[in-house]
Amino acid sequence: MKKKISAIAVGALVLLLAAAFAVYIDLKEFARTAASPGSEEQVLTVASGQPLAATAEELQRRQLVQSAFKFRMLAGWKATTGAEAGEYSLKPSMTPRDILALMEKGTVRLHRLTIPEGLTLAQIAEQIEKSGLAAADILMRPWTRLLRAQGIDAPSLEGYLFPETYFFPRTITAEGIIAAMLQAFRSAFPRSGSGGRRSSASPCTRR
């Protein structure tokens, strides 16, 4: 009787190992196989805190991966809990492994923002609003806390936003834009305070 039970246990273990190996092979094949040869770029937006399951379902809905379930399994295999928030440029010709790596690294799309020389604060705020990155009225606030953080004693941002071309992710906040531009101003004019005004720029991906 004991021998029969042992044989059944061994048989069950063998079947279990065989099934696990089959799943592994299937998942490995899924990871390196693109959904289609299509090269048309799609922009996928991942919200902050969005569950991986929701991202996987959207990838399948857009035919960027063949299976949302297998994509979740692949993420679990690689110990990935979720994707960084932002916009991702994806193509059906990308493999699930490549898509997952992109999201793990947070390699999101960057939006170009060009601030020409000679603009007033109101004009800069309008330019930023046109880019869709932040509302103009938010940018027109005093932001004295951010100014003081850079050692600038001034009542407003007027004169401290340096003209430059920036590349920001869509998830950037108004505060993030201003902080980056003030940091650039301070980098360009380290001894400038309230008495040495300029227009502004940003070290947050400046090109």
Q: Which of these three, 50, 73, 105, is where a domain ends?
A: 105
Residue 200: inside a domain: no
Q: Which of these three, 75, 105, 135, is where a domain ends?
A: 105
Structural domains in the chain (count): 2
Residue 77: inside a domain: yes
Q: Are residues 76 and 117 in the same domain?
A: no
Residue 23: inside a domain: yes
Q: Are residues 83 and 130 in the same domain?
A: no
Q: Which range of residues forms the domain containing residue 64?
A: 2-105
Q: Which of these three, 74, 105, 136, is where a domain ends?
A: 105
**Is residue 173 a contact partner of residue 154, using CB atoms and an 8 Å limit?**
no
Instruction: Say what the pLDDT of residue 157 is.
Output: 93
Distance separating alpha carbons of residues 115 and 113, to the nearest angstrom: 7
Distance separating alpha carbons of residues 57 and 63, to the nearest angstrom: 10
Q: Are residues 86 and 121 in the same domain?
A: no
pTM: 0.73
User: What is the C-alpha R_g of the chain?
Assistant: 26
Q: Are residues 101 and 119 in the same domain?
A: no
What is the number of other CB atoms lying within 10 angstroms of the CB of residue 31? 19
Residue 160: inside a domain: yes
Q: Are residues 99 and 132 in the same domain?
A: no
pLDDT, one tens digit per residue, over 141-188 is 989 999 998 888 899 999 999 889 999 999 999 999 999 999 888 888
pLDDT, one tens digit per residue, over 84-124 is 899 999 999 999 999 999 999 999 999 999 999 899 999 99
